[in-house]
Amino acid sequence: MQMLQPLDYVVFFIYFIIVACYGLWIYNRKKAKQTSSKDYFLAEGSLTWWAIGASLIASNISAEQMIGMSGSGFRLGLAISTYEWMAALTLVIVAVFFIPVYLKNKIYTMPQFLSQRYNGTVAMIMAIFWLALYIVVNLMSILYLGALAVSSISGISVYTCIALLAVFAVVITLGGMKVIGYTDVIQVFFLILGGLVATYIALHLVAEKSGQTGLVNGFKIMTSTASDHFHMIFKKDSPNYVSLPGLSVLIGGMWITNLNYWGCNQYITQRALGADLKTARAGILYAAFLKLLMPVIVVLPGIGAYVLYQKGMFHAGMLSHSGAVDVNKAYPNLMTLLPEGFKGIAFAALTAAIVASLAGKANSIATIFTLDIYKKAINKEADENKLVNTGKITVVVSMLLAVVMSLVIGEKLMGEGKQGFNYIQEYTGFVSPGILAMFLLGFFWKRTTANAAMFAMIGGLVLSIIFKFLPMWADLSWLTPYGFFQPNPDNHGMFEIPFLDRMGFVFLICVAGMAIINFVENKRGVVNKGLIVDTSMFRVSKGFAVGSLVIVAILITLYTVYW
């Protein structure tokens, strides 16, 4: 396996210097104008539409996609692209219905929304939930998967890579949301460039191994050789049904995953909350178009690696410590085949994806802890400088915790052939149904009460745990023909309820439970704290409407062709 050559290191350090110098310039330029903690955490009024869109994608596309989704492409095929393509439509919905509510009611953090809409108790409990989720699932997984990839390409030990990535991300994050937002524009450039290089080499090698040339021929050979990897909707008898259960990706749990991630997630919405409505919507629409392109740079390389693996390549490089095929090594193995110089570009792209995502997540952790926990429960009299410094300390502490966890449990949870992408989606899904339920009802049903929200928050988590382990306690084999009970290859073949279906069940129960509580408490005269919501908020410009229709048309075409 070829490691990085001198020219690759030169290319990588050019990338590093560009990002560092640009970030420092932005920091010094904006520092004089920084007047509050909200300005530091949210870059209030400073990000343009293209910076918002680029930052959304740079923060979203990380090791989770570049490594995890490529690995799922290796095993599942094009179907894993549903997370990206459905996200494009979800972003349009968020821009139309969610963002106007946040901006009209001057919402800056998700716990603030819960406090303003329900009460401080709901907000505080949820803030703690989010911090735990962001650190234990997101930061840790991004660090581990990212370090695994960087180690595979560079030859540097995984432990050293974890430390270096964490330090790089901390340096970026300490500059605040402005530095993150504007450096993300550069990160996206390297990310897309490196991803396209990976796709190029995959298609080129597939054609070459078949005695032909050209990218088009490579794609045709890939679709014929691995035709089972080019279906978007799995049937019930598919071994991959547990990961993507049929129509649930169109009318079921996939909506819960996407709406929660893009609409109720501090890590994502933070990019748009400091802008005016027109700018925020334009940035989100730009991000939606970019999402349509993401499978080209993160899924096709994984499918290409699968085809090449079937032709005898990567057999040694794809094995885990126990000898199992580790799908998370598909993308890194492909990178090692790039020529000198191009490998440096791909290495820079991978690092850009990892660091941008780590920085965005760490900034959100700092924002929630500082504004929603420290300011409200620990030091109510803290001045603006104290809040900013507390946020910086939180960044460092959270990153240290993520480093320790990635070293201790990263291999156990995401190694040994398991899909890292599925791990992130499933464990985030333990809380997302309840969160989405209390957000949606909080938006559009003024009679929704704090106790109803509490039921969704706590009850949703409990129900998710029960449904996860229910097959271990009860015989559910009679559900197998209906697709609700499938073997999970990532869990030693144990039968489980597909996690997307599980999320759908939990969401429906949460909504029903909230409705019952609402009716009971409304009869008792419980006073609710509604938001400012009127239909005029949801009107969009003609340009936005046209862009949205184009996205819908593209999605219909893609699902029709690759059904």
pLDDT in tens, 54-81: 778 776 776 677 777 888 888 888 999 9
pTM of the model: 0.81
Helix, strand and coil content of the chain, in percent to the nearest 5, comes to 75, 0, 25
Number of residues assigned to the chain: 563
Q: What is the pLDDT of residue 91?
A: 94
- Give 263's pLDDT tier (boundaries 50, 70, 90): confident
- Name which of 119-123, 456-460, 504-508, 525-529 the model is least confident about: 525-529
Which H, E and C letters describe 31-58, residue by residue?
A: HCCCCCHHHHHHCCCCCCHHHHHHHHHH
Mean pLDDT of the chain: 80
pLDDT in tens, 393-450: 888 899 899 888 888 876 666 555 555 666 677 778 888 899 999 999 988 888 889 9
DSSP 135-158: IIIIIHHHHHHHHHHHHHHH---H
Check whether 310 has a pLDDT greater than 90: no
Task: Indicate the pLDDT class of residue 3, thresholds 50, 70 and 90.
Answer: low
| DSSP string for residues in 240-297 | TTTTS-TTHHHHSHHHHHHHHHHHS-HHHHTTTTTS-HHHHHHHHHHHHHHHHHHHHH
User: For position 527, what pLDDT does the model report?
Assistant: 63
Strand partners, 319: 325
pLDDT at residue 38, rounded to an integer: 56
pLDDT at 486: 66
Query: pLDDT at residue 34 above 60?
Result: no
What mean pLDDT do residues 517-536 have? 78
Say what percent of the chain tops pLDDT 90: 16
Please name which of 177, 149, 166 lies closest in space to residue 70, comparing C-alpha atoms: 149
Arithmetic mean of pLDDT, 524-553: 83
The whole-number pLDDT of residue 317 equals: 62
CA distance 164 to 144: 12
**pLDDT tier for residue 1 given thresholds of 50, 70 and 90:** very low
Residue 149: pLDDT above 80? no
Average pLDDT over residues 510-534: 82
Helices (H), 270-416: 277-298, 300-310, 330-335, 342-367, 384-414
Give ∠ CA 206-208-212 in degrees, rounded to 5.
105
Instruction: Return the SS3 of 337.
Output: coil
Of 561 and 36, the one with more pLDDT: 561
pLDDT at 90 over 90: yes
Q: What is the pLDDT of residue 272?
A: 72
The pLDDT-based confidence of 523 (bands split at 50, 70, 90) is confident
- The pLDDT, as a whole number, for residue 512 is 96
What pLDDT score does 489 carry?
Answer: 63
Residue 551, pLDDT score: 95
What's phi and psi for 496, nearest 5 deg? Answer: -140, 165
Q: What would the two tokens of residue 216 be?
A: 């088009």
Walk me through the domains of the chain, giving residue ranges and CATH numbers: 6-29+41-106+120-412 (1.20.1730.10)
pLDDT at res. 138: 80
Evaluate whether 207 touches 396 at the Cβ level (below 8 Å). no
Q: pLDDT for 320-379, tens place per residue?
A: 566 667 777 777 777 777 777 777 777 777 777 777 778 778 888 888 888 888 888 888
> What mean pLDDT comes out for the span 266-290?
82
Structure confidence by residue, pLDDT tens digits, 198-251: 888 888 888 888 888 888 888 898 888 888 899 999 888 787 887 888 888 888
Run of H or E residues at 486: strand 486-488
* pLDDT score, position 411: 66
pLDDT at 123 over 80: yes
